Amino acid sequence: MTDAAVSPPVAERRAGSQAWWNAVNAWLLLLPAAVLLVAFTHWPILATIRHSLFITRRNGTEVFVGLDSYQAMAADPIFWKALINNFWFALGTIPTSIALALLMAIWVNRNMRGRGFLRLAYFTPTVLPMIAVANIWLFFYTPDYGALDQLRSLFGLGGWNWLGDPSTVMGCLIVMVIWKEAGFFMIFYLAALQQLSPDLDEAASIEGASRWYIFRRITFPLLMPTTLFVAINAVINSFKLVDHLVIMTKGGPNNASTLLLYYIYEVAFTFQDSSYAATLTVVLLILLSAVALIKFGYLDRRIHYQ
């Protein structure tokens, strides 16, 4: 009897300390990831936002200026130019590279000779270093003796300074980025296509569905998770492009090829104006968070995940 009367509190205490240990254990296991996340993601974001509200004097002291930098930004024509450029750049690259990637994946996802070689060929642009890629395309676009102009001369057309003309420079960049991205995205589509059971195709074809009908009603909806993933990546990439610009155009001519991140890079490291760069970075952050919110808040709920 005494045993029974005494044992519940002991068991309770033991259960209590057990739960406490479990919690400590869980936090310890989370710690490495949490430290990395806080140190390299959350803290920099907060520091950037704070930094955008201050300016740094020559002697290194910081002065609080509130939203002054944002007002300056709103009046900065180059910022608007970069933003609009970025919009056209995204619009030019994302849908085309995704459509091309899907097309290539469906084409390569068949039993045919040289399939492995084709897949490799499509993937090469992703493997090549970006500087090398930029140099190859620089050669294509070089006026007079570049590959493109030599082709033009065959038809008796004169040379054209592709990257030096504000009307063509953006188009040139878009074509290059599509070439680079489509192969990369194709790999994701290919992986997704290989996950799809061939039974579904066969079941649909027994019901009399045409190839196009099967694609429209079965394959494409089932690829939506991949399409979303690829689209998010494409959006992020279109805001991330810097290296090609540094090699090929330096944002020129007349800022016709300046994109947001390149402008941030210039402001921060060429003009050494770190607080204005922080202000621009906050804009970029807001844009990318909006994309993430749309994905998690809206699109994920409308897409079928297996």
Partner 1 sequence: MSAITLSHVSKHWGPMRAVDDVSLTADEGSLLVLLGPSGCGKSTTLRLIAGLEETDAGTITIGGVDVTHLNPAQRKISMVFQSYALFPHLSVAENIVFGLRVRGVSRAERDARLKRVADIVDLGHLLERKPSQLSGGQRQRVALGRAIIAEARVCLMDEPLSNLDAKLRHEMRTEIRALQQRLGMTMVYVTHDQTEAMTMADRVVLMRDGRIEQNGAPEELYNRPATAFTARFIGTPPMNLLRQGDRLIGVRPEHIRIVSGGDHVVRVKAVEHLGADSIVLCEFDGQPISVRLDGFSKVSPGDNLPIAWDADHEHRFDPASEARLDNIVKEDRLAASGQ
Please identify, among the stretches 19-27, 111-119, 129-137, 213-221, the one whose residues bind partner 1 according to the rule CB under 8 A: 213-221
| Residue of 12, 62, 202, 300 interacting with partner 1 (CB under 8 A) | 202
Backbone phi, then psi, for 56, in 5-degree steps? Answer: -105, 125
59 binds partner 1 (CB under 8 A): no
Q: Does 80 bind partner 1 (CB under 8 A)?
A: no
- What single letter denotes the amino acid at residue 10? V
The H or E element spanning position 54 is: strand 54-56
83 or 218: whose CB is closer to partner 1?
218
Residue pair 248/297 in contact (Cβ under 8 Å)? The answer is: no
Of the candidates 65, 106, 128, 218, which one interacts with partner 1 according to CB under 8 A? 218
Contact flag: residue 299 with partner 1 (CB under 8 A): no
28-53 burial, b for 16+ CB within 10 Å, e for fewer?
Answer: eeeeeeeeeeeeeeeeeeeebeebbb
Q: Which stretch binds partner 1 (CB under 8 A): 62-70, 135-143, 215-223, 252-260?
A: 215-223
- For partner 1, the binding residue among 203, 236, 293, 294 (CB under 8 A) is 203
CB 275 within 8 A of CB 69: yes
Nearest CB to partner 1, comparing residues 131 and 203:
203
Q: Say whether residue 221 binds partner 1 (CB under 8 A).
A: yes
Is residue 111 at the binding interface for partner 1, with CB under 8 A as the rule? no
Q: What are 63's strand-pairing partners? A: 55
Q: 200 vs 108, 178, 191, 215, CA distance in Å? A: 19, 31, 17, 11
User: Judged by CB under 8 A, which stretch of 14-22, 52-60, 107-115, 194-202 contacts partner 1?
Assistant: 194-202
Task: Using CB under 8 A, pick the residue from 101, 172, 204, 248 that binds partner 1.
Answer: 204
The whole-angstrom separation of Cα 291 and Cα 270 is 29
Helix (H, G, I), strand (E, B) or coil at 56: strand
Binding site for partner 1 (CB under 8 A): 197, 199-200, 202-209, 213, 217-218, 221-222, 304, 306
